[in-house]
Amino acid sequence: MSEILVLKNITKAFPKVIANQDVNFSLQKGQVHALLGENGAGKTTLMNCVCGLYQQTSGEIFINNQAVRIDNCSQAVAHGIGMVHQHFMLVPELSVAENVILGLKREKDFFIKIEDVEREVAELSEKYHFGLNPKAFIKDLPVGMQQRVEILKVIYRQASIIILDEATAVLTPQESEELFHIVENLVKQEKSVILITHKLSEVMRLADQVTVLRDGKVVGTVSKEKTNERELAKMMVGRDVLFDFKRGKELEKSLKMNVENLTVIDTRGIEKIHQLSFSLYSGEILGVAGVDGNGQLELSEALTGMTTYHGGSITLADKTYKHMSTKESYRNGVSHIPQDRQHTGLIMERSLEKNMILADYWKKEFSSYGFLNQKSITKHAATLMQSFDIKASSPLARIRELSGGNQQKVILAREISRGPDILIAVQPTRGLDIGATEFVRQQLIDERDKGTAVLLISTELDEIMQVADRIAVLYKGEFMGILDRDCLDVHEIGLMMAGVRKKEMEGGYDEA
């Protein structure tokens, strides 16, 4: 066994934050080394130093026992390092093969024939079982396939060290399973993998070694054989994480939202929501389970006025809408935690405190006579930073400078703290560390206990089972049935997720 990558005393300081401090790390050839840590612990930053996006402030990087300088991404590539970032950097209008050679700077590039690249891509795809068609356009591929293009890009550049930053966060369980096979194959071919993840089950499944970071420092490195999920969680968070939730008594319910025959057709003319009807009540969490891509996004966007619907109606507070704008939804007390939080919901170049009041700046507490009340805006942000444990240098930090998970927390804090009547939360814990995940789930329950009507759309069945009062299963734009928390049957939910209606199971009875 030989050390292919060694980091010695790496420190990376930004003007106001020390993201990594004296980090020692070593990756063995042909192994998977998982990098764990809370949101903002410094995982992405450390790997950005390795792949040339940042330069470390001090410390040394060794590759095959040679000290190297990595000043930019092409030097990293020359050293055999490739990183797959959480946000893909692909051009949707180009083919797989075209994307693979994009940005390659080699002399012979000038003479490159796309047919040759397509052949090479096909060969690599076969070798690593990617199942990619080199001629397919990126825009036509599902997320899981797009991610494989990113991985193939890295392999095409002959990377021997492959860094995956929260690779499964955007994948369905099925796609994640396929990615695990890919990682296993990479290792068989003598590649070495660094895996950043928040999911401890992935660590236990794939990793040989595990390093835990906390506040930029290494807490410890352990071999997978000698640890377990509980110990890792404790190393990360500094306490036990039990997912033991407190749930208030059921309140008297009143109707908050009524959806009647809702139909949504997407831009390609495909029907994504088909004549869907349901009611949402105060003081309950209605969980919408289902495999990703069955209309979750379209449903949440229709309910919050972000997309037009083509049939049916939505009734909020006694008013029935055939069309609804985001403004109308918002004015009716609807809060929205959107699925794609980098593109909807945050302004990356603005400060944290401004992002906390994006739609509320006109409220009395934040402005008077047309002037913003700076003091109260900063105070509001500071309070939310405290209660949601948002790590940032100050309320003035730009969103772009926050870690991925802390960016998520800004939206969560803003939308939950508004005191909504209705809270529509889509994948609210995606990208959050285990402690923050526990916290956010409890927040959803607390909202319910306060009388808020919560619609939780999530592909994580665990999440839904832990918090929801009723569970609806979405399949091809329709509910296959709605189950009560008290009579949950995982097997039944599984069948519904695969498209079997509840009434088909029971011979005619359907409570949906």
Ligand X SMILES: Nc1ncnc2c1ncn2[C@@H]1O[C@H](COP(=O)(O)OP(=O)(O)OP(=O)(O)O)[C@@H](O)[C@H]1O
> What's the closest the beta carbon of residue 411 comes to ligand X, in angstroms?
13
Closer residue to Mg ion (CB): 407 or 466: 407
Which one of Mg ion, ligand X, none interacts with residue 217, CB within 5 to 8 A by kind? none
Select from Mg ion, ligand X, none the partner in contact with residue 392, using the beta carbon and a kind-dependent cut-off of 5 to 8 Å: ligand X
User: Which listed residue (4, 5, 10, 17) binds ligand X by CB under 6 A?
Assistant: 17
- Taking CB under 6 A as the criterion, the residue among 10, 21, 33, 44 binding ligand X is 44
User: How many CB atoms are located within 10 Å of the residue 94 CB?
Assistant: 15
Q: C-beta of 432: minimal distance to ligand X in Å? A: 8
Q: What is the DSSP letter of 160?
A: S
Residue 192 near residue 30, CB atoms below 8 Å:
yes
Residue selected from 10, 34, 37, 265 as contacting ligand X according to rule CB under 6 A: 37
Residues ≥6 apart with Cβ < 8 Å to 38: 214, 236, 237, 405, 433, 435, 436
**C-alpha–C-alpha distance, residues 273 and 262, integer Å:** 7
Residue 401's binding partner, choosing from ligand X, Mg ion, none, with beta-carbon cut-off 5 to 8 A by kind? ligand X
Q: Which helix (H) or strand (E) holds 474?
A: strand 470-475
State the minimum distance, in angstroms, from the CB of residue 61 to ligand X: 17
- Exposure of 45 in the CB half-sphere (CA atoms within 13 A): 27
**Least Å from the CB of residue 42 to Mg ion:** 9
Q: Which stretch binds ligand X (CB under 6 A): 42-50, 150-158, 343-351, 470-478?
A: 42-50
Nearer to Mg ion, 97 or 411 (CB): 411
Site for ligand X, residues 365 to 404, rule: CB under 6 A? 391-392, 401-404
Minimum distance, C-beta of residue 483 to ligand X, in the bound complex (Å): 33
Q: Are 212 and 220 within 8 A, CB to CB?
A: yes
SS3 string of 347-390?
Answer: CCCCEHHHHCCCCCCCCCCCEECCEECHHHHHHHHHHHHHHCCC
Q: Which residues bind Mg ion (CB under 5 A)?
A: 44, 404
Task: CB nearer to Mg ion: give 265 or 346.
Answer: 346
Residue 39 interacting entry, from Mg ion, ligand X, none, C-beta within 5 to 8 Å by type: ligand X
Tally Cβ neighbours within 10 Å of residue 58.
12
Tokens encoding 382: 């500071």
Using rule CB under 6 A, residue 14 touches ligand X:
yes
What is the amino acid identity at position 199?
A: K
The answer to whether 57 touches 11, Cβ cutoff 8 Å, is yes
Is the Cβ of residue 164 or residue 455 nearer to Mg ion in the bound state? 164
Number of H helices and E strands in the chain, helices first, is 17, 22
Distance from chain centroid for Cα 397: 22
DSSP string of 387-430, one letter each residue:
HTT---S-TTSBGGGS-HHHHHHHHHHHHHHT--SEEEEESTTT
* Unique residue bearing structure tokens 């918002």: 330
Smallest distance from Mg ion to CB 85, Å:
9
Q: Which is nearer to ligand X, 67 or 348 (CB)?
A: 348
- Closer to ligand X by Cβ: residue 261 or 387: 387
39 scored as a contact of ligand X (CB under 6 A): yes
Which residue lies nearer to ligand X by CB, 360 or 460? Answer: 460
Question: From ligand X, Mg ion, none, which one binds at residue 208 (CB under 5 to 8 Å depending on kind)?
Answer: none
- 58, amino acid identity: S
Q: Which is nearer to ligand X, 169 or 423 (CB)?
A: 169
Site for ligand X in 405-424 (CB under 6 A): 405-406
**Count residues contacting ligand X (CB under 6 A)?**
20
Candidates 11-19, 70-78, 200-208, 268-276: pick the segment binding ligand X (CB under 6 A).
11-19
296 makes contact, choosing from ligand X, Mg ion, none, with CB < 5 to 8 Å by partner type, with none
Q: Which of 45, 168, 192, 427 binds ligand X (CB under 6 A)?
A: 45
Does the protein bind ligand X through residue 202 (CB under 6 A)?
no
Q: Contact with ligand X (CB under 6 A): which of 23, 30, 42, 98?
A: 42
Q: How far is the CB of 22 from ligand X (least distance, A)?
A: 15
Which of ligand X, Mg ion, none sits in contact with 339, Cβ below 5 to 8 A by type?
Answer: none
Q: CA-based diameter of the chain, in Å? A: 73
**Distance of closest approach, residue 476 Cβ to ligand X, in angstroms:** 33
Strand 81-84 relative to strand 161-165, pairing: parallel
- Residue 494 CA to residue 263 CA, distance in Å, equals 25
Q: Which position among 7, 36, 41, 474 is part of the footprint of ligand X (CB under 6 A)?
A: 41
Residue 507: φ, ψ to 5° = 75, 65
| Alpha-carbon dihedral angle through residues 232, 233, 239, 240, given to the nearest 10 degrees | -110
* The residue count for the chain: 512
Q: Report the nearest approach of Mg ion to the CB of residue 41 (Å).
A: 8
Q: Give the residues lining the site for ligand X (CB under 6 A).
A: 14, 17, 19, 37, 39-45, 391-392, 401-406, 433
